């Protein structure tokens, strides 16, 4: 829906906008842009009361991004320009191996992504995304090498974390937390459109897991009208159904039917039974369908079952622990309908494909 009926006009005064106004005053496109920007900065309280809010905000965000790109100097380079940049500069470090593919990936981009003031930063981000995607595609198992590759870009999450409560409902705080863990901000320092282009171009979002229906959905999230939230919920639902199926099949093969009575950490069996008794869906789900997200890791890493079953497939406990810790803030934010960011989406795609090396049978 259009913004005009929702918001009164506001006058904007800032050096960037004033400069843009002076430079492009005669162009029709400029006038439309300024009008939309002025509208998008008006009475936000009224916006949030209006129907169709997400569409209106998306329109404002797109317009704001156009002005941001114009003032910041973000371009969509052709292949020859990217090749010249790569040839004229010396790139070192962990991204170097992916640089040979940058021209190929950039050719598949449809939106401006290169910061002309910091071309190495933009190229390093695209290279890191490419490296992650290529490693996930090539890996056939849950390995130390793959874990280390992800750690270089997503940060080191191996140590136990005392989760700050603010990160679950505040996307800005969550992104700051990721960076404190070592997340490389070049990975997602693109416009929404350019980031989506990069995800598609590198195949990071290909082939989400299928849904194993009998193992049930996680608890449904609160209503959300955000595309990224809906996508995150879909991916998490599919991933968790496979984790449950995988655990159930492996445990049943090793310990027989009814393994839940004897092989769960203290109190877990009782909690699952209580949730099953409250289920009025009429569906005969396996007991593990009532597991919480935080149940999977302690179940898998219980000393006796880890030694007998899971260590051979996951290798190191710390690598599994790290994967679940990276997903935890996204799981909480998604199930409470909090905004999902590009950082969240990248971690979700990455760790889903990482865990899928083992849990999809």
Alpha helices in the chain (DSSP H): 15-24, 28-40, 44-49, 53-72, 79-88, 102-106, 119-138, 144-154, 171-181, 192-201, 227-255, 260-263, 268-278, 296-300, 303-305, 311-314, 317-335, 342-359
Question: Quick check: 54 pLDDT over 90?
Answer: no
Q: What span, in angstroms and rounded, lies between the C-alpha atoms of 318 and 127?
A: 27
Cβ atoms < 10 Å from Cβ of 216? 21
Is residue 66 left, alpha or beta, with left meaning phi > 0 and alpha meaning psi from -120 to 50? alpha
Query: Binning pLDDT at 50, 70 and 90, where does residue 144 land?
Result: very high
CA torsion 185→190→192→194, rounded to 10°?
Answer: -140
Nearest to 327 by CA among 238, 200, 260, 203: 238
Query: Binning pLDDT at 50, 70 and 90, where does residue 58 land?
Result: low
Helix (H, G, I), strand (E, B) or coil at 181: helix
Q: What span, in angstroms and rounded, lies between the C-alpha atoms of 193 and 184?
A: 19
Nearest to 7 by CA among 75, 70, 67, 53: 53
Say which residues have a Cβ less than 8 Å from residue 243's Cβ, sequence separation at least 6.
Answer: 296, 355, 359
Question: Quick check: 347 pLDDT over 80?
Answer: yes
Question: Quick check: 69 pLDDT over 70?
Answer: no
Q: How many angstroms separate the Cα of 118 from the Cα of each of 98, 106, 135, 156?
A: 18, 16, 26, 26
Domain boundaries, the chain: 15-72, 140-361
pLDDT at residue 2, as a whole number: 43
pLDDT tens per residue across span 90-126: 555 545 555 678 889 999 999 999 999 999 899 999 9
* Structural element, H or E, at residue 74: strand 74-75
pLDDT tens per residue across span 121-141: 999 999 999 999 999 999 999
> Lowest mean pLDDT: which of 38-47, 207-216, 315-324, 336-345?
38-47
Query: Binning pLDDT at 50, 70 and 90, where does residue 281 land?
Result: confident
Question: What pTM was computed for the model?
Answer: 0.78
Question: Quick check: 162 pLDDT over 90?
Answer: yes
- Summarize the confidence of residues 294-312 as an average pLDDT: 97
pLDDT at residue 91, as a whole number: 57
b/e 3-42 (16+ beta carbons within 10 angstroms → b): beebbeeeeeeeeebeebeeeeeeeeebeebbebbbbbbb
């Amino acid at each position: 829906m259009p913004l005009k009926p929702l918001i009164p006009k506001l006058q904007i005064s800032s050096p960037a906008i004033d400069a843009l106004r002076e430079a492009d005053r005669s162009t029709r496109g400029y006038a439309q842009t300024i009008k939309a920007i002025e509208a998008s900065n008006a009475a936000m309280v009224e916006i949030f009361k209006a129907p169709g809010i997400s569409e209106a905000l998306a329109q404002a965000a797109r317009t704001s991004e156009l002005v941001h790109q114009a003032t910041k100097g973000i371009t969509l380079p052709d292949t020859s320009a990217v090749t010249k940049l790569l040839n004229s500069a010396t790139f070192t470090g962990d991204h170097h191996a992916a640089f040979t593919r940058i021209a190929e990936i950039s050719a598949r981009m449809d939106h401006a992504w290169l910061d002309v003031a910091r071309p190495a930063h933009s190229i390093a981000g695209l290279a890191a995304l490419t490296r992650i995607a290529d490693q996930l595609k090539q890996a056939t198992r849950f390995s130390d090498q793959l874990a280390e590759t992800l750690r270089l870009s997503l940060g080191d999450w191996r140590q136990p974390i005392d989760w700050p409560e603010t990160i679950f409902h505040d996307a800005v705080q969550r992104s700051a937390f990721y960076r404190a863990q070592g997340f490389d901000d070049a990975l997602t320092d693109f416009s929404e459109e350019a980031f989506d282009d990069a995800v598609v171009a590198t195949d990071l979002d290909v082939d989400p897991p299928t849904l194993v229906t009998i193992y049930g959905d996680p608890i449904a999230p609160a209503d959300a009208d955000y595309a990224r939230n809906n996508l995150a919920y879909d991916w998490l639902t599919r991933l968790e159904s496979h984790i449950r199926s995988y655990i159930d099949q492996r445990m049943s093969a090793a310990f027989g039917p009814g393994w839940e009575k004897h092989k769960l950490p203290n109190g877990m069996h009782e909690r699952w039974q209580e949730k099953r008794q409250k289920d009025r869906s009429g569906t005969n789900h396996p007991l593990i369908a009532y597991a919480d997200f935080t149940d999977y890791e302690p179940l898998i890493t219980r000393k006796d079952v880890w030694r007998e079953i899971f260590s051979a497939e996951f290798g190191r406990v710390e690598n599994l622990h790290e994967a679940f810790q990276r997903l935890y803030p996204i799981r909480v934010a998604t199930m409470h309908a909090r905004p999902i960011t590009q950082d969240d989406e990248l971690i979700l795609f990455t760790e889903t494909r990482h865990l899928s090396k083992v849990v999809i049978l």
